[in-house]
Amino acid sequence: MKDNPFSLWVYLSQSPLLWLTVTLLVYATTDAVSLATRRHPLANPVLHAMWIIGAFLLATGTSYTTYFAGAQFVHFLLGPATVALAVPLYENRDRVVSSIVPMLVALVAGSVTAVVSVVLLAELAGLPRDVVLSLAPKSVTAGVAMGIAESLHADPSLAAVAVILTGIMGAIIVTPLMNRTGVTDFRARGFAAGLAAHGIGTARAFQVDEIAGVFSGIAMSLNALVTSFLVPLVVTLLVR
């Protein structure tokens, strides 16, 4: 270490510890800023953590593979967090059971709209076929979308990026859009947020209203189910 001042950096930058620490500290900071702005939609903590960490990786010439070796411990928790959605669902079961019919109809309408609209728009924009396929599952949670993309021989990492971008845009748009449409029913608003923008939309919904969060979590898990079946079908029918 004494003969090369960079050897400490070389050592640390290859260790999972550094990148796990960076992920947690940057997120803690962007989340604190979000809280300080009283959860303003544009202060979305995921959006800002993403570009700050991304810029840091580019500036230090660190590969995403090296970064992910540390960040995977956080990424891994997406699975258990999906299982944990059972708890808000359980605690609000009476409210859920009483709105089962509107939920199921909205689920079908929303899932079909999510997949068909993105495929049609992407074809219209003249995007290459493999990009269109990777965008198709963009409204479901990252792990599920990556699985769907893989089964279509599309690009799973592009699918993950499309999912995160969709989630962030959904979380930013949902509150102003719903206020403009005059819908005050937080069950409906939350359900739409979770269906269109998965976990990031659900996190946003929980910030706004507890019931919205619960319905968002339900929409997110149901949509993961429906989209797994729907995407291959839509792709066969609509993609050239």
Partner 1 sequence: MLASLGLILLCQLIGEAVVRGLGLPLPGPVLGLLLLLILLLARDRFALLAQGPLRNDGVETASKGLLAHLSLLFVPAGVGVVQKLDLLASHGIAIVLVLALSVVVTLLATVLTFRLVSRLLRQQDAR
User: Which 119-138 residues touch partner 1, going by CB under 8 A?
Assistant: 121-122, 125-128, 131, 135, 138
Binding mask 71-110 for partner 1 (x = CB under 8 A): xx-xx-xxxxxxxxxxxxxxx-x-----x-xxx-xx--xx
Q: Choose between 18 and 46: whose C-beta lies nearer to partner 1.
A: 46
Closer to partner 1 at the Cβ: 2 or 232? 232
DSSP secondary structure letter of residue 41 = G
Out of 41, 133, 154, 189, the only residue in the binding site for partner 1 (CB under 8 A) is 189
Interacting residues with partner 1 between 37 and 76 (CB under 8 A):
45-46, 49-50, 53-54, 57-58, 64, 67-68, 71-72, 74-75
State the minimum distance, in angstroms, from the CB of residue 8 to partner 1: 23
Stretch touching partner 1 by CB under 8 A, among 1-9, 10-18, 35-43, 165-173: 165-173
Total count of residues recorded for the chain? 240
Exposed e or buried b per residue across 68-94, where buried means at least 16 C-beta atoms within 10 angstroms of its C-beta: ebbbeeeeeeeeeebeebeebeeebee
CB of 136 to partner 1, least distance (A): 10
How many residues sit close enough to partner 1 to count as binding (CB under 8 A)? 104
Rounded CA-CA distance 216/141 in Å is: 12
Residue 7 or 60 having the CB closest to partner 1: 60
Residue 208 binds partner 1, judged by CB under 8 A = no
Amino acid in the structure at residue 70: G
Candidate ranges 8-16, 35-43, 180-188; the one touching partner 1 (CB under 8 A): 180-188
Instruction: Check the CA dihedral 117-122-124-129 and report its sign.
Output: negative
- CB 4 to partner 1: min, Å: 27
Question: From residue 77, how far is each of 48, 82, 215, 232 by CA, in Å?
Answer: 20, 9, 21, 27
Q: Which parts of 3-22 interact with partner 1 (CB under 8 A)?
A: none
Q: State the DSSP code for 43.
A: G
Cα distances (angstroms) measured from residue 90 to each of 45, 176, 202, 216: 28, 29, 16, 14
Please state the separation of Cα 191 from the chain's center in Å: 15
State the Cα–Cα distance between residues 81 and 187, nearest whole angstrom: 21
Distance CA 216, CA 206 (A): 8
Distance CA 82, CA 24 (A): 20
Of the candidates 154, 224, 234, 235, which one interacts with partner 1 according to CB under 8 A? Answer: 224
